[in-house]
A = this chain, B = another copy of it.
Amino acid sequence: MMSFVMHRQVNTNPLLWKLDSIVSLSDEERQALLDLPMAVKVMEADSDIVRDGDRPSECCLVLSGFVCRYKVLSDGRRQIMGFYIPGDIPDLQSLHLHVMDHSVGTLVTSSLALIPHESLRRVLAQYPGLAAAFWRDTLIDAAMFREWMVGMGRRSAYQRIAHLLCELQVRLKAVGLAGEDGYELPVTQNELGDALGLSTVHVNRVLQDLRSEGLIVLRGGSLHIPDWKALQLAGDFDPGYLHLKR
């Protein structure tokens, strides 16, 4: 089992780790976020947080675990549209899009903080800087969708997988959940396929290619990236679309 250096500060809200990586907040704004009422809830793996068609009255902040956004087609197949990690609010959009057009579910046991829309709206009305920050967050979300679209439209399975592994490295690092050269990836090959528009079998074969070329070491949910530059190149990865500060 590999271990990774974790930079997160204990006793702070992961929402702050995340927002700090994309905007600059004043102390007052940070305090307003910490004062938000949150109901913590632990959910086991593979359970739905919100479902397609729901009309949520609260948003869900990921505190720990791994969460995804997905849609199931009329024929039962699934498309995962994004992975969400501690600090993310995958259903922030429900603040303004009242009916869910997709579902959000856990991939592993995860703990979530539920924040009432009402409270969130009050805080955003009071602190325009926070409203801008959250808007920006949803825009970055959209940027990730675009990048995935590019991948599914124009990149090979090989590039797509490498690209996704790069994206997660950068995003997890930004909130202190990845080391310099790897992270815990609690995602099955089947889920990777659903996320990238590939079959499980093909994901498996491509992962073996990546392994045999020494681009990744992946075992038991731990990913080690021996040569970051090389993996980035293989995935045609440019982190610009994540719009991180610095």
Residues of A within 8 A of B (CB): 69, 71, 73-74, 77-79, 81, 93, 96-97, 99, 101-102, 125, 128, 131-132, 135-136, 138-143, 145-150, 152-155, 196-197, 236, 240-241, 243
Contact = CB atoms under 8 A, between A and B. Distances in A.
Q: Is the interface of A mostly helix, strand, loop or mixed?
A: helix
A196 B153 CA distance: 7
A139 B240 CA distance: 20
B149 A148 contact: yes
B145 A142 contact: yes
A52 to B, nearest CB: 9
Contacts of A79: 149-150, 153-154
A128 B149 CA distance: 32
A101 B146 contact: yes
A79 B141 CA distance: 18
Given A131-B131, A243-B101, A71 B138 contact: no
Given A81-B149, A125-B128, 9 more contacts: A73-B154, A73-B236, A96-B132, A96-B139, A97-B139, A101-B147, A135-B138, A152-B152, A153-B196
